[in-house]
Structure 1
Amino acid sequence: MLQRIRPLVQVPSFRVLPLERRRERVRLIATTMVRNEREHLPAMLRNVAAQVDGIVALDDGSTDGSAEMLAASPGVLEVLRNPADRGAYDEPGGHRRLVAAALAHGADWIVSIDADERLEHDFRVRAERVIRRGRALGFTAFALHLRELWDHPDRYRADGLWGRKRVARLFRARLDHRFDPRPLHGSKAPLQGKVMGAFPPADLVIYHLRMIRLEDRIARRDRYLALDPGAVWQPGIGYDYLTDDRGLVLRHIPPRRGYIR
């Protein structure tokens, strides 16, 4: 879900004081739902496993060996599975199962990530600061920058909507999690984590790789047009913008904010 309301100055993730001490860490679990992602999984697992205390995955009926790859990874705590003939895509149902599994594995906080996404360098250290600073304000969920990489693995699109994209993917694990029921583009964070109608923004970055190649952008657009032909679940935005390069502005990833490839 793209967040378009920004009611607050973002919670900073940089070190404020030169001698700022690290405090006791939260138990951070990553969740991911995949289907036939063998191409992206090895790099995603390297990237994410280094930043979290474990990964809980849901294989949504893969036929390319993705489930076996997940099960063989030492960073994966549990692999939930759907059969290959699982019927209609059920994103909300899958997310519910993943959150329940993360709670069962003792998660304090959860970060939701897709196979074609990467966490920035030092995400864990930065996230700990954001969580600690947000806690003082009563924040329990955060909207992170989503950088869509475009044409190059080290450049992201920054014009218009692209430069404002945020996704609520970092949130406190809670038994009373209020789930977003929307079948597409729903929030992963619990709805009670909103403040003034939106999730508090944080200076943390997720990079999305499946927009680098034109053929992937076209495939992504066509997939969502098939799933949501009337753009009911993304009103006012739609999906044609995914391949529209008018006004294109690309920016290099800043130093020290890159990602493990």
Structure 2
Amino acid sequence: MKKILSIFILSAILLNFPCAVFSANLDTSVDEEIRKKYNPSKIEEDLGLPPLPKDLKQTTETKTGSSSTPKPSEATVKIENKQNFIDNNTCVAKIKKGKKLKLKSNSQITDRLRKGSKVSFTSIYPITTTYFTIPYGTKFYGEVFNSHLPQYGGNGGLVVVNITSFVLNGNTYFLEAKTTKVKKKKIFFNNIKGERRYLSGLVKSNSFGAKYFKKMLKVSKNLSKDVVILCPFPVIIGTLVYAGNLVVSPFIAIKYKGGRVIIDKDSIFEFKLTDDFYISR
């Protein structure tokens, strides 16, 4: 029984094998006949189909490849291009916000300078950073942002000077720095102010009443030798005048002006950067 079953299976396999070979041969022959009758490239030309883009071809090739990871050469090219991009847009050095610059004025600076006037300074110490140094003797340029002469009410003169640029190796670099010290004296709110003289004007305006009161005391003293009964009247009058003078003295002091701002040449200034400064190529 087993022999009969094995013979039956073997005969079935032998019968199917020629059919498969025949079908394979048949498919190949049909394909060759189609190619002879129709030219695929000619059909594309007749229909006017656009050529396949190169990028699409490359993507299809990479997709059909063995792995999806890029080749080592392609990866290195991308990194090099990125590095070149960074080099072209990065800075050589950075000076952080708050850095102090000690400079020497090249001319006299006064409250007579008009707004927008240009002034120049020279660095007295090298300004160093991690990768860059601004040497001693570098020219810095500033601008007067505000100024006025002494005003009534005891208000002194005013000058506001900010550093705006400096020149190095023929190149001009722009920055922003405010004044913090002049001749080792602290400057608040970037305002170089003249002496305020309202209180001194108040004292001067009171001087008349004080002098008159002293004069009346002398008169009262002289009267005490001859007419004692009249002694109190000069003192009373002098007291009233002195009191009246005290009342009006705050208004009289308004007519006095404050002090001037006059900073001599070669005076030492200290400026502070108000923002990060980048020195680029």
Higher normalized strand content (fraction of residues): 2
Greater helix percent: which structure? 2
TM-score w.r.t. the length of structure 2 is 0.19
Normalising by structure 1, what TM-score?
0.20
